[in-house]
Structure 1
């Protein structure tokens, strides 16, 4: 089998100046992070890692090793090691790849999928996605960390020209018995964490999210701190990196006001069906 070599992206933007700048940045990063490139190449050329070669033979995935990946606080060595570990863990855990797997049908319009992140790979290779009429309206990206944890690295909503996503989210929330799309996706990540016997579900620290500041300027800034706190998050440190540790506990019906118990009971039944579907798919 041929030896793995770090692939070069295609610089074919409409603007030659943009292509030139991208090309210069790429080769400067190759020089700056040459030790990490060599580490990636040596690791993938080990016989036991041959299953990873074809997966990494994509510039948009390999580029993460010399740019950013999931958490801006990772140093260069942590980044490339996490990228390799995450890819290996995902490919072993998700036997249905490369196709995304349908986890749950809410009705003929709303579906829940698990699989690849098809948007910005530096924000995570894997994702749960909520889809309306086959269009992704909300996505939660995550990665497997070196410490055997599951890190939610990005939560992103998407706009579409043929319908109003905010209105669709309201419809979905009502259909899911008051559970909002973001909250549903986070619960799915927690289910995955438990099934794979990982230690902790983590939320990315707000200042370490890959595109947080740029997104704020463009008007789609996500308040991660607020989201994590709403999900019982507690700020912790692991190897000098800040994260929010997310609680897995679920309220009992006795803790819920009597006028809302019927709604929560239906919600809990739905979540249990999703959990059973997920476990069955992952066990194949």
Structure 2
């Protein structure tokens, strides 16, 4: 239901959009992510107990976000996701993509409206 409510975007993809927006507003120059091999459940102490319960592939998700694998344990993610041009999208899917893009624009506006400019600039002021 969450995917349907997000017009076909997986919730983890929507969450990544929030992270991209926060990174952009905070002048972060790189986003790094752990690979499947680097996940804590791959550690020797977890292999027997929790190693079998690894349900999702981080590597596939990071690759789908156009991430770049830096090592067997680490990915570097883009700072923003490129959107397809509406002309490249099949006409029967364009309405859904317009709704997706509107949702992503709303998320960006919401993040921007909620971040205190003083915190982002590093000039935190205390109110007395």
Band the TM-score falls in, shorter-chain normalisation: 0.7 to 0.9
Counterpart contact for 2:36–2:59, Cα < 8 Å: yes
Separation in 1, partners of 2:8, 2:30:
26
Separation in 2, partners of 1:207, 1:228:
13
1:225 aligns with 2:59: yes
Shift of 1:193: 0.9
Q: Out of 200, 204, 216, which is 2:51 matched to? A: 216
CA RMSD of aligned residues (A): 2.1
Separation in 2, partners of 1:258, 1:246:
30
Counterpart contact for 1:233–1:246, Cα < 8 Å: yes
Counterpart contact for 1:212–1:222, Cα < 8 Å: no
Residue 70 of structure 2 is matched in structure 1 by 236
Counterpart contact for 1:212–1:221, Cα < 8 Å: no
Residue 271 of structure 1 is matched in structure 2 by 104
Separation in 1, partners of 2:7, 2:28:
29
Separation in 1, partners of 2:51, 2:61:
16
Counterpart contact for 1:203–1:244, Cα < 8 Å: yes
**What is the CA deviation profile of residues 65-121 of structure 1, one whole-angstrom value per residue up to 9, with x for unaligned ones?**
xxxxxxxxxxxxxxxxxxxxxxxxxxxxxxxxxxxxxxxxxxxxxxxxxxxxxxxxx
Q: Out of 76, 79, 82, which is 1:245 matched to? A: 76
Residue 193 of structure 1 is matched in structure 2 by 23
Higher strand share: 1
Counterpart contact for 1:206–1:224, Cα < 8 Å: yes
Q: 1:203 to 1:255 in 2, by over 3 A?
A: farther
Q: Which moved more, 1:220-229 or 1:249-258?
A: 249-258
Counterpart contact for 2:86–2:94, Cα < 8 Å: yes
| Unpaired stretches in structure 1, ≥5 consecutive residues | 1-170
Residue 124 of structure 2 is matched in structure 1 by none
1:182 aligns with 2:15: no
Higher helix share: 2
Between 1 and 2, higher relative CO (CA 8 Å, sep ≥ 6) is seen in 2
Q: Which moved more, 1:206-215 or 1:254-263?
A: 206-215
Secondary structure, counterpart of 1:208 in structure 2: coil
Counterpart contact for 1:177–1:267, Cα < 8 Å: yes
Structure of higher CA gyration radius:
1
| Unpaired stretches in structure 2, ≥5 consecutive residues | 118-128
**What is the CA deviation profile of residues 163-212 of structure 1, one whole-angstrom value per residue up to 9, with x for unaligned ones?**
xxxxxxxx111111000111111121111111111112222122222234
Shift of 1:242: 4.7
Separation in 1, partners of 2:106, 2:13:
16
Q: 1:175 to 1:243 in 2, by over 3 A?
A: same
